[in-house]
Structure 1
Amino acid sequence: MQSWAHLFIEQVRATSLLEWLAVLLGVAEVLLARANKVWLYPIGIASTLISVYLLLNVHLFAESLLNVYYVVMSVYGWYHWVKKRGLTPVKVSFATRREWVITLLIVFAGWGILYWLLARFTPSTVPLWDAWVSSTAWAGMWLLARRKVENWLLLNVSNLFAVPLLFHKNLAMFAVLTVFLFVVAIFGYLDWRKIAKGGKA
């Protein structure tokens, strides 16, 4: 345990200013999202672009690609918010059997395809793990776009595996941010579950 604590302290000390900035912007994005403020989008885009650069530097290529997708979806979300804010949002609900089938296809087909691409065409040292973290996050984001309660479960599977992966790549503060996101996702799941059952969050 002491060696883990020592490793964590050493990694925090070695954290670059860019990583600190990305993490602080990431925390701000989550807090703005919870407060339902449109500023979550530009703040999130800035955080994600920095993250792409840092993840590429440590050869986490699938996570980099995932973050590019985050940027695209943030731009879309920002536009959607500004142009269609007055419209009734899609209701929160539980995933159907068909949606679960699609979700599992995204997870396992995505895992296999990403692993093959990373192992064959990149110098990644963790292709299997990187691919798994990204494929589960892609599935979670698909469910999130459809306002399904289970999106939080898939995102937390991704978060759970991402934490040790980020530590392994000496991105300690990214790992801490992911722990924070893990906790937020637990409360998100409980809130959305209550809403889907007809209650209020």
Structure 2
Amino acid sequence: MIEWLLHGTIPVAGGVLLVREVVGNVFGLASALLGMRRLVWAWPVGVVGNVLLFTVFATGALSGAAEEPLWGQAGRQVFFIGVSVYGWWRWSRSRAAGGAADGGAITPRWATARERLLLVALAVGGYAVAYPLLHVIGSWGPQTEAWILTGSMLATFGMARGWVEFWIVWMLVDIVGVTTLIQAGYYPTAVMYLIYAGFVVLGFVVWWRAERASRVAEDPTPREVVGS
């Protein structure tokens, strides 16, 4: 089983998929679905997928192709593991304290103006550091990979904090990520990322509705209609 997981391939039109590439993305999708429902298990499930995908991106073996490593994609897997520990701890504490009224581990909210400025500053600073680093390492497409890495960091941190905006950041990451994978010739994986992007849009809608419902629950007083 371990040999099959590490070295097995799955034939698809236009090439092959590594088994660990598929399994890693399945765990990632499961993590997204659990995160959509704001369940603590989203974090440990995601870590398993991160470990598997790191081995794929760091070796340049994506979709069975012998190419340069995608260090931006590999690097974000390492960051995911670190932030997942933080998110796991934060959501577990919130859950132990009672969690959200609808049963979720955390109550979604929009980031404040100050927090949004912080996200912008982190995005600029993160890209400024990631681009030259990836250029020196020799990653394929350091411009796009720097944004993928930086955006992934911000999105994962935003999820841990319970900010609705993190889904929007994920959308931007996926747009660039899918484009990068297509340009690099990794078509099967690009399709998987495209499917994942659909769940990201759905997750945004779910969290947006949950945030709105929590505000209504906190202030159920009906508003007076002007002109009535």
Instruction: Give TM class, smaller chain.
Output: 0.7 to 0.9
8 Å Cα contact 1:129-1:165 kept in structure 2 = yes
Taking only the aligned residue pairs, the percentage that are identical comes to 22
Which amino acid in structure 1 is aligned with residue 169 of structure 2?
A: L
Residues 83 and 156 in structure 2, CA contact (< 8 A), matched pair in contact too: no
Answering whether residue 77 of structure 2 is matched by residue 62 of structure 1, we say no
Name which of structure 1's ranges 126-135 and 70-79 shifts more when overlaid on structure 2. Answer: 70-79
Aligned residues between the structures: 190
Name the CA distance, whole Å, in 1 between partners of 2:202 and 2:28: 18
Choose the corresponding residue for 2:207, options 161, 181, 192.
192
Residue identity opposite 1:158 in structure 2: V
The residue that corresponds to 1:85 in the other structure is 95
Counterparts of 2:21 and 2:132, CA distance in 1: 29
* Preserved CA contact (<8 Å) 2:91 2:160: no
**How far 1:56 moved relative to its partner?**
0.9
Matches within 5 A, 1:166-185: 166-185=181-200
Bigger mean CA offset, 151-160 vs 72-81: 72-81
Structure 1 counterpart SS, 2:97: coil
Distance in 2 between residues matched to 1:130 and 1:83, nearest whole Å = 34
Contact 1:118 1:127 in 2 (8 A): yes
Verify the 8 A CA contact 1:29 1:40 in the aligned structure 2.
yes
* Contact kept? 2:80, 2:153, Cα under 8 Å: no
Give the Å deviation of 1:84: 6.0
Distance in 2, Cα, partners of 1:170 & 1:23: 18
Tell me, yes or no, if structure 1 residue 161 matches structure 2 residue 176.
yes
Residues 54 and 164 from structure 1, CA distance in 2 versus in 1: closer, same or farther, beyond 3 angstroms?
A: same
Paired residue type of 2:141: V
Instruction: Name which of 94, 108, 126 aligns with 2:110.
Output: 94
C-alpha displacement at 1:143, in angstroms? 2.2
Alignment CA distance shift 1:141-1:21 (3 Å): closer
Of 80-89 and 111-120, deviating more is 80-89
User: TM-score, structure 2 length as denominator?
Assistant: 0.71
In structure 1, the gaps of 5 or more residues are 1-7
Equivalence map 1:1-201=2 (5 Å): 9-10=13-14, 13-34=15-36, 39-58=41-60, 59-78=69-88, 85-89=95-99, 90-120=106-136, 122-197=137-212, 198=215
Q: Distance in 2 between matches of 1:92 and 1:36?
A: 9
State how far apart, in whole Å, the 1-side matches of 2:37 and 2:116 are: 30
Report if aligned partners of 1:20, 1:173 keep a CA contact under 8 Å in 2.
no
Question: Structure 1 residue 170: deviation in Å?
Answer: 4.2
* Residue 34 of structure 1: how far off its partner (Å): 4.5
Once residues 26 and 180 of structure 2 are traced to their aligned partners in structure 1, the CA distance between those partners, rounded to angstroms, is 20
Which region of structure 1 is more displaced relative to structure 2, 28-37 or 18-27? 28-37
CA RMSD in angstroms comes to: 2.6
* Cα distance, 1:187 vs structure 2: 1.7
Unaligned runs of 5+ in 2: 1-11, 61-68, 100-105, 218-228
Q: Which amino acid aligns with 2:109?
A: S
